[in-house]
A and B are shown apart, each in its own frame.
Chain A
Amino acid sequence: MEWEVVIGCEIHSQLATKSKIFSGASTAYGAEPNTQACAVDLGLPGVLPVLNKEAVRMAVKFGLAVGAELTKRSVFARKNYFYPDLPKGYQISQFELPIVGIGHLDIELEDGSTKRIGITRAHLEEDAGKSLHEDFHGMTGIDLNRAGTPLLEIVSEPDLRSAKEAVAYMKKIHSLVRYLEICDGNMQEGSFRCDANVSVRPMGQKELGTRAEVKNLNSFRFVERAIDYEVERQIDVIESGGKVVQETRLYDSDKGETRAMRSKEEANDYRYFPDPDLLPVELEDDFIEMVRSTLPELPDAKKERFTEQYSLSTYDASVLTASREMGDFYETVVTASGGDAKVAANWVMGDFSASLNKDNKEISESVVTAEMLAGMLKRIADNTISGKIAKEVFEAMWNGEGDADTVIDKKGLKQITDSGAIEAIIDDVINNNPKQAEQYRGGKEQLFGFFVGQVMKATQGKANPGQVNELLKKKLNS
């Protein structure tokens, strides 16, 4: 039987506010345990939450970016359950009236077509703390630094039909929240976390199959693997006569499989009700328009512009607009170099991106700035160096040896463009290889490359390749 895969995603995106959603404590990552948890975060008797307006602004910004209906009067609710890292015994979240209503996002499929994915809702909530089980000898340590960190939970419609589509959707959201500067997107630190609701149904069937929620997906690679595993598992279960159980499953990245959580971990009646400590969030039109005016150019619009303005292919444009930083970097390079946009694209997507990947660095951490790369491209354009030598210059810049001019100067990489000097070297090479010269002149034209290589070797690659070709041809044919 042919099976259709149906996936919906829930993404928890940590909002990049300075302080927590309901208290003034800092949200910075990595502090000593419990040093960033104030009385409110600890859930001491008598404390009250006060909503951080920044979190509201960021949620609205997201809503506008996905063309969503904004809820003019959204309500915070309490989700009640006991857990040691949940200090109040309830999480403040939004239930019936989330701040962001129905919206959508377009993703690109592998065949180059686009697909519209529905966004059901996005709501604000507070994060819990962390339970630490290691180093406590049979006990559990509780770190409440993360408790109260603002999250935007973005829920998609079950519109995704494969693990690859799910990954494309998550990457698009990931890129979007960073464009909007509402989330740092750091998946290792848990700033961006995904859960996937996966089900399968016979191709052509209308009703959805029973779904399993797969949690704990903290990289795009894991998302793809976990969904693929889960799809296989569900098909196996059904084809061997069983039934898929609605449950929460954890992805184990070491084993590459999903496993059901103990039923105790999820058998909860959360007893949601509106939080009487917080007023409904009223969104005024003026506020919404103010936020709208701060929206940056969004990825799709920027991609469109890149293909037109810089004559880039759709592929190049989408790579260069995958993140706001990448797009900004590229545009700075083009503007500062004043040269060929395609050459700039090749360098940014090529050596520059490869170096970032190799050293596992963000653009913001790169030693080579857009201005430095542009400076190097200028030296290619004015023939000071060849494209080949440029790779050496780039590597030196990457290693912190200074800007292009400094490196060229220090290493003596300046291209030899003096035709007298090049001619002298060519003469030497021809004289030293009389046999080959004879063969060439006898019609073995493929030996031309040999002579070019010899000349470049003799000049340590610094001779202008165009000139070498031209002069060599003249000499050999004379």
Chain B
Amino acid sequence: MILSLMFFDMAYWFYLITAILYIGNWIFRRDWIGSTATVMTFIALFANTMILVARTFESGHAPFSNLYESMVLFVWAMAIGYLVMEFKYKVKVVGAVVMTLAFIAMIAASKLPYRFQSIERLNPALQSIWLEIHVFTTFIGYAGFAIAFGLSIMYLVKNRMEERGAKVSLIDSFPQSSVLDELSYKCIMWGFPFLTTGIITGAYWANNAWGTYWSWDPKETWSLITWFIYAAYLHARVTRGWRGKRAAWLSIIGFLAVIFLYWGVSFVLPGLHAYA
């Protein structure tokens, strides 16, 4: 039995339980469910960390070299990001959305074709310290965007309720729309500089490995597209007529671009990043 796979199975179920607990906390509003959910997040995160640790020992390199490993890293960063937010801002309802996203990501990772999961030796181009730096920073960025995506959806729902003055008890327990807006901004304030660092470290690495820091490879181009969208988001927040709803839509579109950048490009568009 490969240890990392065992931990993966554990983390998979733990994240499912975590998501259910947060949803339970949201629907039934019992403190004990909420506290259990938080404890469960820690347990899931521990199992998640162990996947990465075990994988490192099994493969002999940092576990960032294919789609499966990067998904595990993505969920890991998301869970940590969420926990930080929960402790700082005490917004457990958000966990119902974010942890569901984390679990969906785990499902996606488990459904990957075998060739994207198996432990691979690093090919010549990947043997560089920049692999670790580039992938790690990129995925902190992605995780920030994922959480922002969840928050922006909550914002739009909440905002609509507030505008109509409608009372739906499930939505009432959401934080105020202004708080949701601030929180998703906060997440993008993490995501954007890390995505940028990911792009720049990638460029630096490419310059060392391929002889050019930018070659309009589909992955590079899509990372730039994503960058443009989030740059627009940051400016939308200070532009009359774009604050609030439109900005939230940009955050959602931005994350859809991230998904395409991350999965779509790997499966649909051929290029230098074919391996991940």
Q: Do A and B bind each other?
A: no
Chain B interface residues toward A at CB < 8 A? none
Q: Give the B-binding residues of A (Cβ under 8 A).
A: none
